[in-house]
Amino acid sequence: MIKKPITDPEVCTGNIRAMTDALESLGGKWRLLILHYLLVRADENNTFNKIEKDIEGISAKMLSKELKILESNLLVSREVQQSSPVTVKYNITEYGKQVRPVIAALVNWGLAHRMEVFQ
């Protein structure tokens, strides 16, 4: 079987579709920051209130919305703990951990970009 070149319209359309899917799952101001937070703190008690406090500038309403989207995309799991008051804990899923290289690449690019722009 002969592989089609990346410039082939069919391949390009498929790649654009894949990029669109990725951006819809990870896009926006907060989702990658939330995933990065959960990756770095994978072994910690990541309650809703702790995440809201630690991610500067995010409102409770926005955090709730973004966590629901990440959960629906199987990137984050939600665990309700029967305590008083009820506590909700969030963790990155095994599937969500696949985003680690994307986040690492963005961090590296962001550092290089800052040096380029602000030198």
Averaged over 20-36, what is the pLDDT?
94
**Integer Cα distance of 94 and 76 in angstroms:** 9
**Integer Cα distance of 20 and 26 in angstroms:** 10
Look at residue 13 and tell me if it is in a domain: no
Locus of tokens 């963790």: 91
Averaged over 105-116, what is the pLDDT?
95
pLDDT value of residue 4: 59
pLDDT value of residue 1: 55
Look at residue 8 and tell me if it is in a domain: no
Output the DSSP codes for 82-108. --SS-EEEEEE-TTGGGGHHHHHHHHH
pLDDT band at 14 (very low <50, low <70, confident <90, very high): confident
Look at residue 19 and tell me if it is in a domain: no
Look at residue 12 and tell me if it is in a domain: no
52 pLDDT exceeds 70?
A: yes
Instruction: Please tell me the total count of domains within the chain.
Output: 1
Look at residue 75 and tell me if it is in a domain: yes
Residue type, 67: L
Residue-averaged pLDDT of the chain:
91
Look at residue 16 and tell me if it is in a domain: no
Give the residue numbers spanning the domain of 47: 30-117
Look at residue 96 and tell me if it is in a domain: yes
pLDDT band at 65 (very low <50, low <70, confident <90, very high): very high
What is the CATH classification number for the domain harbouring 109?
1.10.10.10
Look at residue 55 and tell me if it is in a domain: yes
pLDDT value of residue 83: 87
